[in-house]
Amino acid sequence: MIKVGIIGAMEQEVIHLRAQIKECKIQPLRGSLKGIEIYTGELQGVNVALLKSGIGKVSAAMGTTLLLDSCQPDYVINTGSAGGLSKDLNIGDIVISQEVLYHDVDVTAFGYAKGQMAGCPARFKANEKLIKMAEKCLQQLKLSVVETCPEPLNPSAVTGLICSGDAFINGGKPLNNILTTFPEAIAVDMEAAAIGHICHQYGIPFVVVRAISDVACQESHLSFEEFLDTAAVQSSALVEAMLIHLSQDLC
């Protein structure tokens, strides 16, 4: 049977999935690693290893490495929330990674592209099969955030480039730098590129599916904190739908 690794940075991003895992057990890890936890069991008929990595690139990379070494998943899905960069995105929409990169890496002095880590590809590409699966599953879901938002919203999906860096982007010069350097980027977060980087090193197919919790290029009366829980529910629902699809088609 296949095994899927699922990664969320914060407790809010894993709590809904963890509650649904049958025979959930904590994966023993060597040493004391604060903030990193792995839960194993069965979810929607699929063996899963759910990682709470902690926030930021280093935590995400360390957690993903532990996940791949200790649980050896066949696929990795990164879930949670992200900040929207595209003007076509609204709070509640789902972003699916076509590829991921670091927006805060610059070794262009040595001939690399902006955002490209030395010795690595310019961008870490998500698995095409997982991308199509996420898009198909999302079409079948009827996600709604009407109950938690002052105005009715009809979540839609956008697939494209997701940028990551060790900063919460909410406007100003950091946002302008990202939009200028990577105008095609659709969303920004703090972990996806590090997860994609490690998966690339291990040769493990991955995809990022996140719900937009705030839109960096728009003014909004809704804050990141206000929408985080709902964003987690949205992205978790999509992950579960993908697991059902995997259990039916790939086992």
CA dihedral 16, 19, 25, 27 (to 10 degrees): 10
Residue 128 CB neighbour total at 10 angstroms: 11
- Return the pLDDT at 164: 98
> Taking 90 as the threshold, does the pLDDT of residue 17 lie above it?
yes
Q: What is the extent of the structural domain holding 12?
A: 3-246
220-245: average pLDDT: 78
Distance (Å, whole) CA 43 – CA 60: 22
List all residues 6 or more positions away from 115 whose beta carbon is below 8 Å from its beta carbon.
Answer: 101, 102, 103, 105, 106, 122, 123, 163, 181, 182
Residue at 251 is within a domain: no
> Taking 50 as the threshold, does the pLDDT of residue 150 lie above it?
no
Residue at 79 is within a domain: yes
- Return the pLDDT at 26: 92
Mind listing the pLDDT tens digit for each residue in 64-79? 999 999 999 999 999 9
- Nearest by Cα to 21 from 194, 239, 210, 224: 239
Binding residues: 83, 169, 190-191
User: 48 or 151, which is more confident?
Assistant: 48
Number of domains in the chain: 1
Binding residues for substrate: 83, 169, 190-191
Percent of the chain with pLDDT over 90: 64
- Return the pLDDT at 250: 55
What are the residue numbers of the active site?
13, 214
Q: What are phi and psi of 184, to 5 degrees?
A: -85, -5
- Nearest by Cα to 122 from 70, 181, 73, 205: 181
> Taking 50 as the threshold, does the pLDDT of residue 146 lie above it?
no
Question: Is the pTM for the entire model greater than 0.85?
Answer: yes
User: 45 or 29, which is more confident?
Assistant: 45
User: 221 or 233, which is more confident?
Assistant: 233
Confidence of residue 157 (pLDDT cuts 50, 70, 90): confident
Mind listing the pLDDT tens digit for each residue in 184-195? 999 999 999 999
Percent of the chain with pLDDT over 70: 88
Q: Are the C-beta atoms of residues 209 and 77 closer than 8 Å to each other?
A: yes
142-152: average pLDDT: 44
Residue at 61 is within a domain: yes
Query: What's 37's domain CATH number?
Result: 3.40.50.1580
Average of per-residue pLDDT values in the chain: 87
